[in-house]
Chain A
Amino acid sequence: MNTQPDVIRKCVWPACLMGLFITGTLSLGCDLLHIHLRRVTWQNVKLLTNMSKSFPLECLRENKAFQLPREVLAYSQPLLHRDIKGAFYEMSMLAFNIFAQSTFQSTREEKHLEQIQTGLDQQLQYLEQCLKEEKGKKDKEEMEEDEKRHSGARTPQPSNLDLRRYFHRISSFLKDKQYSHCAWKIVQVEIRRCFYYFQTLIELLRRK
């Protein structure tokens, strides 16, 4: 059993590196997004921290390293502002879907979970709006055109695939452990650390 989870860091490495290679200019829309987003993300980190304060020691045995593949570190294509927001959106969405599978253990946990999901929903709303604004006011026709154009060259950012793989591992872990209490606790800690590092990404967004 791997008792040294060094995952968390690796979860955010793609995010951090993407931040390091920012070359885009500050978008005109979503000006207040950073402020809201930072506030909301911090709230979520604090919520998750509160939840994972009572980590039962016996669950340490089942701890697992949800490692991200190291190839992500070599990803050096200069990324746009939009890509970072996109990655952040996908992270929030994937995390939301993980929490949507939860079964409540106690009323206090239920309350915490609701708060996290509300916070994540907020994050998603801001990001959706922002990404929509950045796309511009495209007509339906334009969007369909884009789809046809892009159908040949489908290239989502590789880091988003890594994000999906990572959350897929977490999801599989939960399923394998049959959503046990310990499994949930481990996942909470994992996602909290992921959020924390995405927070640093938001700081980079802010400085742009």
Chain B
Amino acid sequence: MFALLGVVLVAGAPCVLPAAAGGTKLKPPQNVEVDIIDDTFTLRWARSREPAGNVTVSADYRMPRIVDNWTKLPGCQHVTSATCDFSSLKMHVYEEIKLRIRAEEGNSTSPWRELDTFIPFQQARIGPPKVHLEAEDKAIAINISPPGAKDSVMWQQENPQYSVIIWRNASGAQTWNETHHSRFPRIKIHKLVPETTYCVRVKARLLLHWNPAEFSPVHCVSTTVENELPAPENIQVILENDTYVLKWDYTHDNVTFEAQWLKSYLKRMPGSQSEKWAQVQGCERAPVARCAPPQDLFRKGIYFRVRASRGSSSSPWSQEEKFDAGRQVVIPPLIVALKPLSSRSLQVSIGFQDQTELQHSLTYEVRFWENASNAERKTFVEQRADFPVLSLKPRTVYCADAQALLEDGPRSQRSRPSNTACAATEAGGAPGALLVAGVAVMLVLCAALALGKLVHYVFFPAGKPPATIEEYFPEEPTKNLLLSTSVEQTEECFIVENVDAVSAKEVNHLDEDHRTYTSQASQDSGHYSIEDESGESGESGGSQAGEELGQRGAGAHSAGGRFA
């Protein structure tokens, strides 16, 4: 911060010194303005308090998008007066342009003063248009040429609209003036008084831009003496039995009429294009105040005008009447929907495909019928777009379609029939039957689920077997014993051979005993599964021991058998 101050002071110091030495540091020009009117570009500034000397002013320009360096502004170099004109610069009127200006005296120059960036098209004022007047007895035709030169760049692409102020140039109390707004360069003001001087001022403007405009100078003209034959009035195009016919009013007799037509887009074009009126076939010399031109003439967008003639004299042209076939009100296509409200009513909804809300009020004709053969069709005429239809039969299908009519238009103007929509009224029973059924289903499902869980818990417990069993079944401790179908576990049997050898001798003696023992043994251990058939005497001792062992083993077996 202090460094900055320091820099400023240092910078200021050399400026102070020359002042002290007697010269004045040049300041750039003040109150600089850019004035643009049509294609004339002027730079204005205030002359600084005048020390004697030749102070000149120079300016540069820069167009950020096109010419990015500061370039000398033509027509504004070393200018002594307080304005300079740089219209000779080839201007890009829609592009931004930046100007800077400084004063010079001898070898010293002031610092540049930069002006704000601007776009010429937005800054420009609309100059006065050129006006040409032609007077008739009760009308004045005004031909307006657009502002700017012929090769004007600024308004080259524009279609200006014009405001015309006309007043009566009469002294005295009778002042009268009117303002007309015209979209076209040619405007005719009717219902004027013959032999009067009228004065006119015209101003151009752009429709969507707020450029200020200047009025043209005042132009005056006098209307002529009243014509022998007045112009026809009230020209209309009417539809007679599907044929378009041109009709007008005329007060005098013994005249023939001549009709002309013009394509309406020609009115928008400046210059002489607008004079391309063409004869209407069948109306070149009409004896009555109507004629029937060929129908293909009646396309959209044409103007008509009519005049009367008798002998060599003719009336002025009538007011131009526009005919636009496309201007009839178009009712967009309708969409009809039916919704069941209850068991005895349906709701009819009429909408448009386009979702627009029409300014014109419509009347709807709705045809309604039961979807059965020989059903009679009822027609409702409604202004509402949503309404219920009552007193219907339950559980029946009904259908409807609709047409729209313009309320305050020709009754013949109706839309095309809409789609046919059908819907059924609801059943007569409790409307909640479905709901109850649904709830019941839900309950049953819940019950089934609970039952399933119970069954699962009771019959298929997921418990752990006791530790002792685990000794025998170490591999699968969590196995479900009831359901297991694995191979029976077998235990090794230990048979002592010595006992067998000894007992082989005694067997013969003890046969009877053995037999009884065996029988006893066999009675005792009826569980023997393997050694039942091995009750031989030779192995009585052994068998005894074996029995014992066998018993144990068998016991174990049986135990195993029992539990296997």
Q: Give the B-binding residues of A (Cβ under 8 A).
A: 26, 28-29, 31-32, 34-36, 39-40, 86, 89-90, 93-94, 96-97, 100, 114, 117-118, 120-122, 124-125, 128, 131, 140, 146-148, 150-151, 154-156, 160-161, 164-165, 167-168, 171, 206-207
Determine the distance from Cα of A63 to Cα of B554 in the docked complex, in whole angstroms.
108
- Let me know if B208 and A26 touch, CB within 8 A: no
- From DSSP, what is the main secondary structure of chain B's interface residues? loop
- 8 Å CB contact of B359 from A28, A100, A207: A28
Cβ of B479 within 8 Å of any chain A Cβ, yes or no, is no
CB neighbors of A among B165-205 (8 A): 179, 183, 205
CB neighbors of A among B303-332 (8 A): 324, 326, 329-330, 332
- 8 Å CB contact of B326 from A28, A36, A124, A155: A36
Cβ of B413 within 8 Å of any chain A Cβ, yes or no, is no
- Let me know if B208 and A140 touch, CB within 8 A: no
- Let me know if B301 and A118 touch, CB within 8 A: yes
Determine the distance from Cα of A35 to Cα of B333 in the docked complex, in whole angstroms.
11
Cβ of A146: which chain B residues have Cβ within 8 Å of it?
Answer: 210
Q: Which of B157, B179, B329, B357 counts the most A-chain CB atoms under 10 A from its CB?
A: B157
**Quick one: given A34-B354, A147-B210, A156-B122, are A120 and B359 in contact (CB under 8 Å)?**
no
Give the interface segment out of B106-114, B248-256, B260-268. B260-268
Determine the distance from Cα of A50 to Cα of B298 in the docked complex, in whole angstroms.
23
- Let me know if B268 and A96 touch, CB within 8 A: yes
- Let me know if B265 and A31 touch, CB within 8 A: no
Beyond A96-B268, A97-B157, 9 additional pairs, beta carbon < 8 A: A31-B356, A40-B326, A94-B157, A124-B268, A146-B210, A156-B122, A160-B208, A171-B156, A207-B355
Cβ of A36: which chain B residues have Cβ within 8 Å of it?
Answer: 326, 330
Measured CB to CB, the closest approach of chain B to A178, in angstroms, equals 16
Cβ of B418 within 8 Å of any chain A Cβ, yes or no, is no
- Let me know if A121 and B123 touch, CB within 8 A: no
Name the residue of chain B whose CB is nearest to the CB of A164. B94
Determine the distance from Cα of A100 to Cα of B330 in the docked complex, in whole angstroms.
30
Q: Which of A131, A148, A168 counts the most B-chain CB atoms under 10 A from its CB?
A: A168
Cβ of B264: which chain A residues have Cβ within 8 Å of it?
Answer: 118, 121
- Let me know if B301 and A151 touch, CB within 8 A: no
Cβ of B209: which chain A residues have Cβ within 8 Å of it?
Answer: 154, 156
**Quick one: given A121-B268, A122-B300, are A154 and B358 in contact (CB under 8 Å)?**
no
Q: Which of A26, A34, A96, A125 counts the most B-chain CB atoms under 10 A from its CB?
A: A125
- From DSSP, what is the main secondary structure of chain A's interface residues? helix
Measured CB to CB, the closest approach of chain B to A89, in angstroms, equals 7
Determine the distance from Cα of A93 to Cα of B264 in the docked complex, in whole angstroms.
15
Cβ of A96: which chain B residues have Cβ within 8 Å of it?
Answer: 159, 265, 268
A-B contact pairs, 30 of them (CB 8 A): A31-B358, A32-B359, A34-B354, A34-B356, A35-B330, A35-B332, A39-B326, A86-B208, A89-B208, A93-B159, A96-B159, A96-B268, A100-B269, A118-B263, A118-B264, A120-B265, A122-B300, A122-B326, A125-B301, A131-B207, A147-B210, A147-B213, A154-B210, A154-B211, A156-B122, A161-B94, A161-B121, A167-B157, A168-B157, A206-B356
- Let me know if B157 and A206 touch, CB within 8 A: no
Q: Give the A-binding residues of B (Cβ under 8 A).
A: 94-95, 119, 121-123, 156-159, 163, 179, 183, 205, 207-213, 263-265, 268-269, 299-301, 324, 326, 329-330, 332, 354-359
Measured CB to CB, the closest approach of chain A to B156, in angstroms, equals 7
Name the residue of chain B whose CB is nearest to the CB of A94. B157
- Let me know if B208 and A206 touch, CB within 8 A: no
Cβ of A128: which chain B residues have Cβ within 8 Å of it?
Answer: 183, 207
Determine the distance from Cα of A161 to Cα of B121 in the docked complex, in whole angstroms.
9
Measured CB to CB, the closest approach of chain B to A79, in angstroms, equals 13
Name the residue of chain B whose CB is nearest to the CB of A151. B212
Determine the distance from Cα of A207 to Cα of B356 in the docked complex, in whole angstroms.
8
Determine the distance from Cα of A123 to Cα of B269 in the docked complex, in whole angstroms.
15
Name the residue of chain A whose CB is nearest to the CB of B302. A118
- 8 Å CB contact of B300 from A31, A118, A131: A118
Determine the distance from Cα of A120 to Cα of B266 in the docked complex, in whole angstroms.
11
**Quick one: given A96-B159, A118-B299, A154-B123, are A206 and B263 in contact (CB under 8 Å)?**
no
**Quick one: given A36-B330, A165-B94, are A31 and B268 in contact (CB under 8 Å)?**
no
Cβ of B265: which chain A residues have Cβ within 8 Å of it?
Answer: 96, 114, 117-118, 120-121
Cβ of A117: which chain B residues have Cβ within 8 Å of it?
Answer: 263, 265
Determine the distance from Cα of A174 to Cα of B257 in the docked complex, in whole angstroms.
44
Q: Which of B122, B208, B355 counts the most A-chain CB atoms under 10 A from its CB?
A: B208
Measured CB to CB, the closest approach of chain B to A83, in angstroms, equals 9
Determine the distance from Cα of A155 to Cα of B123 in the docked complex, in whole angstroms.
10
Determine the distance from Cα of A122 to Cα of B267 in the docked complex, in whole angstroms.
12
Determine the distance from Cα of A186 to Cα of B123 in the docked complex, in whole angstroms.
33
Cβ of B356: which chain A residues have Cβ within 8 Å of it?
Answer: 31-32, 34-35, 206
Name the residue of chain B whose CB is nearest to the CB of A99. B265
Cβ of A35: which chain B residues have Cβ within 8 Å of it?
Answer: 330, 332, 354, 356
Measured CB to CB, the closest approach of chain A to B68, in angstroms, equals 16
What are the 5 closest A-B residue pairs judged by CB atoms, nearest first?
Answer: A121-B265, A150-B210, A31-B359, A117-B265, A165-B94
Name the residue of chain A whose CB is nearest to the CB of B329. A32
Determine the distance from Cα of A93 to Cα of B265 in the docked complex, in whole angstroms.
11
Determine the distance from Cα of A147 to Cα of B340 in the docked complex, in whole angstroms.
58
Cβ of B324: which chain A residues have Cβ within 8 Å of it?
Answer: 122
Cβ of A154: which chain B residues have Cβ within 8 Å of it?
Answer: 122-123, 209-211
Q: Which of B268, B324, B357, B359 counts the most A-chain CB atoms under 10 A from its CB?
A: B268
Name the residue of chain B whose CB is nearest to the CB of A155. B122
Determine the distance from Cα of A131 to Cα of B211 in the docked complex, in whole angstroms.
18
Measured CB to CB, the closest approach of chain B to A141, in angstroms, equals 10
Cβ of A165: which chain B residues have Cβ within 8 Å of it?
Answer: 94-95
Cβ of A147: which chain B residues have Cβ within 8 Å of it?
Answer: 205, 210, 212-213
Cβ of B299: which chain A residues have Cβ within 8 Å of it?
Answer: 118
- Let me know if A31 and B212 touch, CB within 8 A: no
Measured CB to CB, the closest approach of chain A to B124, in angstroms, equals 10
Name the residue of chain A whose CB is nearest to the CB of B209. A156
Name the residue of chain A whose CB is nearest to the CB of B352. A35
- Let me know if A26 and B357 touch, CB within 8 A: yes
**Quick one: given A100-B269, A171-B157, A207-B355, are A121 and B301 in contact (CB under 8 Å)?**
yes
Determine the distance from Cα of A164 to Cα of B122 in the docked complex, in whole angstroms.
12
Cβ of B213: which chain A residues have Cβ within 8 Å of it?
Answer: 147
